[in-house]
Amino acid sequence: MHELSIAQALVDQVEAARQAHGGGRVVSIDVQIGEWQAVVPEILTGYFDYLAQGTPLEGARIFIEDVVATARCGGCGLVFESHAGYLPCPSCGSVACSVVAGKELHLTGVELDD
């Protein structure tokens, strides 16, 4: 269900970007979704299409980039995939690791038709 809130926020954000760049119709948008966000792409696009009906966003294609959960070790510098956890570092055992990717929920691009 959180996809509905996210889709509404996305529609608002795309509309703001569209107006800031002189209007026109929205052809496509680019979205990044991190692995840890538990967002189902089909549900998100379904809600987006629904909310976009009758607006200049109607029919926009949504390109979703899935971002793999990744962490970096502050000890040895190793960057590694961290699907269900990121501690300790698989190489040196340090717990001074930080998440570098996987929490994204970003709008990265909007394509307009003029």
**Rule CB under 8 A: is residue 68 a binding residue for other proteins?**
no
Asked if 25 is part of the footprint of other proteins (rule: CB under 8 A), the reply reads no
DSSP 55-104: STTTT-EEEEEEE--EEEETTT--EEE-SS---S-TTT--S-EEEEES--
Q: What tokens does 6 get?
A: 């996210």
DSSP-assigned letter for residue 8? H
Please give the backbone phi and psi of residue 44, each rounded to the nearest 5 degrees, phi first: -60, -45
Bridge partners for 72 per DSSP? 79, 98
User: How many residues of this chain bind other proteins (CB under 8 A)?
Assistant: 35
Binder of other proteins out of 15, 17, 75, 78 (CB under 8 A): 17
AA letter at 65: E
- Minimum distance, C-beta of residue 1 to other proteins, in the bound complex (Å): 4
Compute the least distance from the CB of residue 12 to other proteins, in Å.
7
- DSSP type of residue 54: T
- Contact pattern for other proteins over residues 82 through 101, marking x by CB under 8 A: -xxxxx-------x---x--
Is residue 103 a contact residue for other proteins (CB under 8 A)? yes
> Which positions touch other proteins (CB under 8 A)?
1-2, 4-6, 9-10, 12-13, 17, 21, 24, 31, 36-38, 69, 83-87, 95, 99, 103, 105-114
